[in-house]
Amino acid sequence: MQMKRTESDRSADPRRQQLLEDIRKTKYALDCAYSNFENVVDPDLIDCSIYELKAVQMRYRFLLKQAELLDLTT
């Protein structure tokens, strides 16, 4: 028989805390990547910004899926 985890048990889970911290940091990186993309004018830097933005978006999506698996989303 499995015991139900209480909200306090979930908040104490180090994996959960690390995932939430990773999501927060990645969201900040995503905001920065969007800002960089909007402000560059050199064609080479535009390409670089697009690649960076795509990479951060993929990481953010991955982390959100992990959060869904741990039932962290609201």
| Domain residue ranges of the chain, discontinuous segments joined by + | 26-74
Exposure string (b/e) for 3-25, b if CB count within 10 Å is 16 or more?
Answer: eeeeeeeeeeeeebeebbebbee
- Top pLDDT among 10 and 18 is at 18
Identify the pLDDT of residue 3: 47
Confidence of residue 59 (pLDDT cuts 50, 70, 90): very high
Identify the pLDDT of residue 10: 60
Q: Residue 16 pLDDT more than 80?
A: yes
Distance separating the N- and C-terminal Cα atoms of the chain = 26
pTM over 0.85: no
Q: Cα dihedral sign for 35, 36, 38, 39?
A: positive
Query: Is 66:21 a contact under the CB 8 Å cutoff?
Result: no
Instruction: State the chain's mean pLDDT as an integer.
Output: 87
Q: Residue 34 pLDDT more than 90?
A: yes
